[in-house]
């Protein structure tokens, strides 16, 4: 009797494999992860996810009077426990090319305070399970075991107005874009895998399906509440000197024509002239801080995604057993911000990497958070 070795695969693992097989090997076969506590986009995003999981608690727990903790409070507590120094507690807020950094704790608290102001108690969703781990054994058309797909969805919910079951997925981003969602691999994967797993767990009946996946985008930005807006909500520039003088003239106030802009603003404050609305509409308006976008996948899309999962799992197995080449895929953008860049450069030069790995990396288990079954009774 032969024993099948269970092979787990995550969605982020699939992305690393298609991006660069060498990166995938270091991360998921050698199981190396860079050491250090410096703040980065992944760490910051994880903190926001943890804060929201404490906010979106299951409905059955709310009935037990389990206290919902506002996300901003959780963010503050997490950062206080991290005790990062000033250098480590900086996060890039625009993009990889930008040099604009802000204090990560301040950013996180500000984002979550405005998130609560924007959505309030957010009772349009009845939470079934936040941070829900799942796993599904996947078989070929011939019935042979291929891999076990594992992951964690941010929030399984019922939408109250439609009473449909769906997924709420939290995303932090420097800039919010939605053009990619039609081909987004995470959405395709979750639409493909989760309904099958939920049926196996008895959450869905054999003829039932999930009805939506809603991305909950949050822009990484310290919102400027003091910046003036017009009646249409458009941000205004600082008023020009001519506009300040015109407003003072219209109000019948005398002043020296040699006054500078700051002095004119001070005079406006003294005589009661509202100057904040005198600026022109800014040519650059910030994108929305919070956007929710639903995505859907039909049966054809699900079948194609399953085909990709099966093929990638087979290729990973072939790389592991040496029948398919392990190689790097250098790219200007991907390599520039790759966590394994320094290791890759040393390896590329043919130097010994063991000492560097020992000093700069630690071992991790990428599948540690995934379990075999989940009790969803009473949902």
| Percent of the residues in the chain that have a pLDDT greater than 70, as a whole number | 86
Which three-class secondary structure state does DSSP give residue 137?
Answer: strand
Among residues 229, 153, 160, 230, the alpha carbon closest in space to that of 197 is found at 153
How far is residue 305's CA from residue 192's CA, in Å, rounded to a whole number?
7
If pLDDT is split at 50, 70 and 90, which confidence band does 59 have?
A: confident
Cβ-based neighbour number of residue 34 at 10 Å: 15
Residue 332 has pLDDT above 80, yes or no: yes
Report pTM: 0.77
Determine the angle formed by the axes of helices 104-119 and 71-82, rounding to 10 degrees.
170
Instruction: Provide the token pair at 51.
Output: 């804060």
pLDDT reported for residue 60? 76
**Residue 151 pLDDT exceeds 90:** yes
Residue 272: name the closest of 298, 251, 241, 293 by CA: 251
Find all residues with CB under 8 Å of 286, minimum gap 6, and list them. Answer: 219, 221, 235
Helix, strand counts (H, E) of the chain: 13, 10
pLDDT in tens, 254-292: 999 899 999 999 999 999 999 989 998 877 666 678 999
Number of CB atoms found within 10 A of residue 191's CB: 23
Q: What percentage of the chain has pLDDT greater than the value 90?
A: 66
């Amino acid at each position: 009797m032969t024993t099948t070795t269970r092979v787990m695969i995550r969605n982020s693992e699939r992305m690393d494999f298609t991006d660069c097989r060498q990166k995938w090997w270091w991360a998921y076969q050698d199981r190396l992860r860079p050491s250090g506590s410096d703040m980065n986009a992944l760490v910051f995003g994880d903190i926001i996810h943890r804060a929201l999981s404490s906010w979106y608690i299951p409905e059955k727990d709310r009935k037990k009077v389990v206290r919902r903790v506002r996300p901003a409070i959780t963010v503050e507590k997490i950062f206080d426990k991290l005790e990062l120094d000033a250098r480590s507690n900086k996060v890039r807020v625009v993009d990889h090319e930008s040099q604009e950094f802000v204090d990560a704790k301040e950013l996180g608290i500000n984002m979550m305070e405005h998130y609560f102001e924007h959505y309030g108690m957010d009772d349009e969703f009845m939470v079934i399970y936040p941070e829900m781990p799942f796993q599904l054994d996947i078989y070929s058309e011939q019935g042979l075991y291929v891999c076990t797909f594992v992951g964690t969805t941010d929030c399984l919910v019922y939408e109250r107005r439609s009473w449909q079951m769906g997924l709420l997925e939290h995303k932090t981003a420097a800039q919010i874009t939605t053009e990619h969602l039609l081909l987004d691999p995470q959405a395709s994967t979750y639409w493909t895998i989760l309904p099958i797993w939920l049926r196996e767990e008895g959450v869905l009946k054999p003829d039932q399906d999930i009805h939506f996946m809603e991305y909950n985008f949050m822009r990484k930005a310290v919102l400027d509440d003091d910046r003036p807006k017009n009646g249409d909500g458009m941000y205004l520039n600082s008023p020009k000197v001519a506009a300040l003088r015109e407003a003072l003239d219209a109000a019948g106030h005398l002043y020296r024509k040699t006054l500078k802009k700051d002095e004119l603003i001070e005079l406006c404050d003294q005589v009661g002239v509202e100057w904040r609305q005198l600026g022109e509409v800014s040519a650059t308006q910030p994108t929305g801080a919070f956007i929710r976008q639903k995505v859907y996948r039909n049966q054809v899309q699900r079948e194609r995604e399953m085909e990709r999962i099966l093929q990638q799992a087979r290729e990973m197995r072939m790389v592991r057993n040496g029948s398919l080449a392990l190689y790097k895929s250098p790219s200007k953008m991907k390599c520039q911000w790759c966590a394994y860049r320094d290791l890759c450069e040393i390896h590329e030069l043919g130097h010994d990497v063991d000492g560097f790995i020992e000093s700069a990396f630690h071992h991790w288990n990428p599948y540690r958070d995934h379990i075999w079954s989940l009790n969803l009774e009473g949902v």
